[in-house]
């Protein structure tokens, strides 16, 4: 989800709820303690230089039960961040404290903002010799072979 999308969703909500991948909700007294732009400059395992930018929201489970974050306040925080930090309409990544800080993608189901799981990946599969799809091999063909040749797909 991008910044423009979350602002559209917030405009139609009376309350904000974030749902974790296991279905549980972030406690309603959470705070968004940071909105920022994260720039990641790196070289992948294939030697390609890459640059990624995301908007980062940090959710914090506060002990402040009297000050719940309302949609219009979050929109104000987002717009201030866009202006002061010169943030374009980027994808959002959410940090939330579990047993360690977890990073999540963000989606919306018309009621709740959904914290979606993120996965690591090899960005240079072609340079590393990693097939993008597993080779299709029939089990009967494997049983006919008595030895495995390198790159034959039987090992």
The per-residue pLDDT for range 115-129, each reduced to its tens digit, is 999 999 888 888 877
> Taking the complete model, does pTM exceed 0.75, yes or no?
yes
The C-alpha atoms of residue 155 and residue 143 are separated, in whole angstroms, by 12
The per-residue pLDDT for range 38-77, each reduced to its tens digit, is 999 999 988 999 999 999 999 998 787 777 889 999 999 9
Q: Does 26 have pLDDT greater than 80?
A: yes
Rounded alpha-carbon distances, angstroms, from residue 106 to 46, 48, 94: 29, 27, 7
Across the beta sheet with 92-97, what order do the strands follow?
18-19, 113-116, 101-108, 92-97, 49-61, 30-43
The per-residue pLDDT for range 84-111, each reduced to its tens digit, is 999 999 999 999 998 899 999 999 999 9
| CB 37, CB 53: distance < 8 Å | yes
């Amino acid at each position: 989800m991008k910044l423009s999308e979350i602002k559209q969703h917030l405009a139609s909500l009376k309350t904000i709820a974030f749902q974790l991948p296991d279905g549980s909700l972030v406690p309603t007294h959470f705070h968004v303690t940071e909105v920022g732009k994260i720039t990641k400059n790196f070289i992948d395992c294939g030697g390609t230089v890459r640059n990624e930018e995301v908007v980062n929201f940090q959710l914090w489970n506060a002990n402040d039960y009297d000050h719940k974050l309302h949609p219009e306040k979050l929109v104000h925080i987002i717009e201030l961040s866009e202006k002061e930090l010169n943030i374009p309409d980027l994808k959002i990544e959410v940090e939330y404290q579990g047993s360690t800080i977890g990073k999540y993608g963000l989606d919306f189901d018309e009621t709740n903002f959904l914290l979606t799981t993120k996965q690591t990946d090899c960005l240079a599969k072609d340079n590393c010799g990693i097939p993008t799809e597993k080779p299709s091999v029939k089990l009967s063909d494997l049983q006919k072979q008595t030895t495995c040749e390198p790159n034959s797909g039987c090992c």
